[in-house]
Amino acid sequence: MIGVVIPVHNEEACLAACLEALSMAATCPQLAGEAVSIVVVLDACTDRSQRIVLRHAMQADARWRLDCIAVDARNVGAARAAGARLLLSRGARWLAFTDADTCVSHDWLSMQLLQKADAVCGTVAVDDWSPHEDHALALREHFARTYTDADGHRHIHGANFGVCARAYLRAGGFAPLACSEDVALVAALQATGARIAWSAAPRVTTSARRDAKARGGFGDTLLQVVGAMGVAEVVKELVTSAVQAPAPALNA
Q: Give the C-alpha separation, 27 to 90, whole Å.
A: 19
In angstroms, rounded to a whole number, what is the distance separating the alpha carbons of residues 73 and 49? 16
What CA–CA distance (Å, rounded) separates 237 from 221? 25
Quickly list DSSP for 109-178.
HHHHHHT-SSEEE---EES--GGGGGGHHHHHHHHHHH---STT-----TTSEEEEHHHHHHHT-----S
Per-residue b/e over 62-99, b at no fewer than 16 CB within 10 Å? eebbbebeebebebbbbbbbbbbebbbeeebebbbbbb
In tens digits, what is the pLDDT along the chain, a chain of 252 residues?
A: 999 999 999 999 999 999 999 999 999 999 999 999 999 999 999 999 999 999 999 999 999 999 999 999 999 999 999 999 999 999 999 999 999 999 999 999 999 999 999 999 999 999 898 887 778 888 889 889 999 999 999 999 999 999 999 999 999 999 999 999 999 999 999 999 999 999 999 999 998 876 766 665 665 566 666 566 543 332 233 233 333 344 333 333
Nearest alpha carbon to residue 16 among 62, 48, 44: 48
Strands 2-8 and 36-43 come out as parallel
